[in-house]
Chain A
Amino acid sequence: MKLEIFIDKEKTEQVLIYAHKKTPLIEAIEQLINENQEIFLGIKDRETVRLNISEIYCFTVEENKIYAYTKSEKYQLKTRLYKVEERLGEDFVKINQSCIANIRKIERFDANYAGTLKVIFKNGHTDYVSRRNLRKVKERIGLYE
C-alpha cells in the first residue's frame, strides 16, 4: 500500500485510505486514529455519545450549562468551558465569553445591526464575536499574516 504524508498547517488534519477491501492493517489504522482523536462525551436525551472534535462546530454556555453543537445536534457536556478550551487545538478560538468556535465550521461573518460581528456556522447556528475577542479571531483566521 502506497503511503503519502503532506505536512500543511492550512489543511484539516485527516487520513484518507483507498483500499480494495478492509484488511487487518486498515482496521488497526482505524483503531489507532480513533484512540488518538480528542473525544468529548456529549449527553442528549439521557444518552451519552462520543463526539469527535472534528465534528464539533462550537461549544457554548447556555443557562450555565456547556453544549457542543454538531451538524444537526446539540449535546450537553459535563465540564467547564475553560477545561474544554484547554483541550482544543488551533482550529478553535474563543469568539466571546460563552462560545468557542471551530474556525473550519464557520460559513461566514456578517455585520449585526447591533454593531457586533455575527458568526454564521455551516450548520446554520449563529453567534457573535465580542470586541474583546475580535483581534484573536482575526489573528487565528490569518488576517494579520
Chain B
Amino acid sequence: MNKYMKSFLHRGLIFAGFGPIVVAIIYMILEKSIPDFSLSGTQIFLAVISTYILAFLQAGASVFNQIENWSVAKSLFCHFITIYSAYTLCYLLNNWIPFKPQILIIFTLIFAVLYFIIWAMVYFSIKAASKKMNKKLS
C-alpha cells in the first residue's frame, strides 16, 4: 500500500465520525423546530452510514492534492469528482433531493459554484500568509 493510500485511509478514518455527529445535530434542530418531525429507523441508518462515508471521503480526498507526480488539474479534478459523486449519491440515497434531471442540474451548479468559492477563499488566504512569511525569510 503506497503512502498516499495510507494517508487517505488514515485521514478518512479520523474524520469519518464527524459525519454522523453533524447529521445528529441537524436532526435534533429539525425535531425542535418542526412539529411532528419523525424519522424511521431505516432513514436514520441510511443517514448515519452515508454521512460517515461522506466525511471519510471528504477527509481522505485531501490527499489527492499532495500527490507530487499529479498535475494541479488532475488532483483538483479527482478531488472535485470524488466529493461531488459522494455528495450526489448520498443526497439521492437519502431522498434529500429528488431524482429529477432539473433538480440534479441545479444541485450540480450550486455544488460547483460553492466548491470554487470555498477553494478560492482558502487558496487566497494561504497565498497571503505565504507572502508575509516569505518576507520574513528574505
The chain A residues found within 8 Å of chain B, CB to CB, are 62-63, 103, 106, 108-118, 126, 128, 134, 137-138, 141-143
- A128 to B65 Cα, complex, angstroms: 11
**What is the total of A-B residue contacts with beta carbons within 8 Å?**
61
A117/B66 contact (C-beta < 8 A), A109-B133, A143-B133, A143-B136 known: no
Given A62-B3, A63-B3, A126-B68, verify A115-B122 contact (CB < 8 Å): yes
Interface residues of B in 93-129 (CB under 8 A from A): 119, 122-124, 126-127, 129
Given contacts A109-B134, A126-B68, contact A115 B119 (CB under 8 A): yes
Are A112's CB and B3's CB within 8 A?
no
Q: Which partner residue on chain B sits nearest A127 by CB separation?
A: B66
Interface of B is mostly: helix
Flag if A116 contacts B126 (CB, 8 Å): yes
B72 surroundings in chain A (CB, below 8 A)? 113
Instruction: List 13 contacting pairs A-B, 8 Å CB cutoff, sorted by A.
Output: A63-B3, A109-B134, A113-B72, A113-B76, A114-B79, A115-B62, A115-B65, A115-B119, A115-B126, A117-B130, A117-B133, A118-B130, A143-B133
Partner of B75, one of A106, A110, A114, A116: A114
Bound together, the chains give a CA A96 to CA B126 distance in angstroms of: 16
B133 touches A138 (CB 8 A): yes
Give the docked Cα–Cα distance between A143 and B62 (Å). Answer: 27
Query: Which residues of A are found within 8 Å of B32, using beta-carbon distances?
Result: none
Partner among A109, A114, A138 whose Cβ is within 8 Å of the Cβ of B65: A114
**Chain A: CB-nearest residue to B6:** A63
Residue B137 is within 8 A (CB to CB) of chain A in the complex:
yes
Residues of B within 8 A of A126 (CB): 68
CB B101 to nearest CB in A, in angstroms, measures: 32
Residues of A within 8 A of B65 (CB): 112-116
Select from chain A the residue with minimum beta-carbon distance to B126: A111
Complex CA distance for A141 and B137, rounded to whole angstroms: 7
Q: In the bound complex, how far is the Cα of B65 from the Cα of A62, in angstroms?
A: 18
Within residues 68 to 89 of chain B, which ones have a CB less than 8 A from any CB in chain A? 68, 72, 75-76, 79
Which B residues touch A143, using CB under 8 A?
132-133, 136
B136 touches A117 (CB 8 A): no
